[in-house]
Amino acid sequence: MSVVLPAERLQKTLGYVFSEPKLLKQALTHRSFSSKHNERLEFVGDGILNSIVARSLYFAFPQLSEGDLSRLRAHFVRQESLAVIASELQLGDYLSLGEGELKSGGHRRPSILADALEAILGAIWLDGGFAAVEAVLNQLFAARIAAVNPEEAMKDPKTSLQEWLQARKVELPNYVIERQQGDSPDQIFEVSCTIAELKVSAKAEGTSRRAAEQLAAGAVLHQLREQFPGKKVVRK
């Protein structure tokens, strides 16, 4: 029976096979692990990501102004959104991290996951060209762009959560720092967001308190929308 290597599984998930596998290896290597890390590939991937998402939004939303398109693009390419996609791809399982990052849970850290995703996009562009990376990005973003509500997406998760709760006359969330470790600029914050009245809570990690709060708020909002899809809220 043939054995499927981790890198092969990831390429199958992405829908792209590298001609130069070393590019994928580098894209998955954090600077804590090796001097041949993924930061230069991340730089390339960031530029490619912004240009392709901008093009997609231009055609998907002909009614939006330049300013609104910029804000909508920011929603899709921000760290929180990319970390969600990276988690869906299980990128954390493929990363090469130094011992310190492994111990501190770096394979789950939103900043590391988002950077790795951008690095992979940069690696695909260098390996296969623009059409190859565009195909991968369309696979990752097409459904998200088709389903997005522009007005809602242009708000940050904390604002959206607050508005959702206020519209239903539910008490506002309580944010608590559960854990803080490391020194700037490598600090990690773990924050919980709780809606006590509805008994809903979520935790998230970020490189700043604000980033962790935004991620936790987004996770809580996702739970609330699934549990209470309409306007009516049933207290538990």
**Which neighbouring-strand residues pair with 29?**
96
| pLDDT classification of 5: cutoffs 50, 70, 90 | low
118 is known as an active-site residue: yes
Where is average pLDDT lowest: 54-68, 161-175, 182-196?
182-196
Per the model's pLDDT, the better-predicted residue between 27 and 150 turns out to be 27
Q: What is the mean pLDDT of residues 167-176?
A: 94
Residue tagged 């009516």 (tokens): 232
Residue 205 annotated as lining a ligand binding site: no
Residues in Cβ contact with 169 at an 8 Å cutoff, skipping those fewer than 6 apart: none
8 A C-beta contact, residue 81 and residue 19: no
pLDDT at 106: 83
pLDDT at 234: 57
| pLDDT classification of 231: cutoffs 50, 70, 90 | low
Catalytic residue, chosen from 46, 134, 156, 190, is 46
8 A C-beta contact, residue 217 and residue 193: yes
134 is known as an active-site residue: no
Reply yes or no on whether the pLDDT at 236 is more than 70: no
Reply yes or no on whether the pLDDT at 132 is more than 70: yes
Q: Burial of 93 by CB count in 10 Å (0-12 exposed, 13-18 middle, 19+ buried)?
A: exposed
Q: What is the mean pLDDT of residues 96-117?
A: 89
Reply yes or no on whether the pLDDT at 4 is more than 50: no
**Which neighbouring-strand residues pair with 174?**
194
| pLDDT classification of 148: cutoffs 50, 70, 90 | confident
Reply yes or no on whether the pLDDT at 230 is more than 80: no
Catalytic residue, chosen from 80, 118, 134, 190, is 118
Q: What is the mean pLDDT of residues 186-212?
A: 89
| pLDDT classification of 11: cutoffs 50, 70, 90 | very high
pLDDT at 54: 97
Q: What is the DSSP string of 206-227?
A: ESSHHHHHHHHHHHHHHHHHHH
pTM higher than the cut 0.85: no
Residues in Cβ contact with 74 at an 8 Å cutoff, skipping those fewer than 6 apart: none
| pLDDT classification of 45: cutoffs 50, 70, 90 | very high
Handedness of CA 156, 160, 155, 174 (dihedral sign): negative
Domains and CATH numbers, the chain: 6-148 (1.10.1520.10), 157-227 (3.30.160.20)
Residue 115 annotated as lining a ligand binding site: yes
Residue 156 annotated as lining a ligand binding site: no
For the chain, the 3-state helix, strand and coil shares in percent, each to the nearest 5, are 60, 10, 30
Reply yes or no on whether the pLDDT at 187 is more than 90: no
